[in-house]
Amino acid sequence: MQRIGLRWPGLLMLLVALMMLVALVGCGDDGDDTEVTEDTVASSGDGDIMLASTTSTQDSGLFDEMIPAFEAAYPDYTVKVIAVGTGEALELGRNKDADVLLVHAPASEEEFVAEGYGTERREVMYNDFIIVGPAGDPAGISGMDDAAAALTQIAEAEADFISRGDDSGTHKKELSLWEVAAVQPSGSWYQEVGQGMGEVLRIASESQAYTMADRATYLNLMDTLELDILVEGDDALFNQYGVIPVTDASNQEGAQAFADWITSTEGQDLIAQYGMERFGQPLFTPNAGPETSS
Q: How far apart are CA 156 and CA 154, in angstroms?
A: 6
Domain extent for 222 = 128-237
pTM: 0.79
**227 shares a domain with 132:** yes
- Does residue 203 lie in a domain region? yes
pLDDT tens string, the chain, 294 residues long: the values are: 333 343 434 444 444 444 443 343 343 333 333 344 444 444 445 789 999 999 889 999 999 999 999 999 999 999 999 999 899 999 999 999 999 999 999 999 999 999 999 999 999 999 999 999 999 999 999 999 999 999 999 999 999 999 999 988 999 999 999 999 999 999 999 999 999 999 999 999 999 999 999 999 999 999 999 999 999 999 999 999 999 999 999 999 999 999 999 999 999 999 999 999 998 999 999 999 665 544
**143 shares a domain with 107:** no
Q: Across the strands, what pairs with 163?
A: 192
Q: What is the CATH number of the domain that holds 114?
A: 3.40.190.10
pLDDT at 23: 41
**201 shares a domain with 58:** no
**284 shares a domain with 265:** yes
**249 shares a domain with 233:** no
- Does residue 147 lie in a domain region? yes
Q: How far apart are CA 180 and CA 167, in angstroms?
A: 18
> Where are any strands of DSSP class E within 134-289?
161-163, 190-192, 210-214, 228-231, 238-245, 285-286
Residue 259 CA, chain-centre distance (Å), reads: 18
Q: How many domains does the chain have?
A: 2
Q: How far apart are CA 45 and CA 66, in angstroms?
A: 21
User: Residue 33, exposed/middle/buried by CB under 10 A (0-12, 13-18, 19+)?
Assistant: exposed
pLDDT at 119: 98
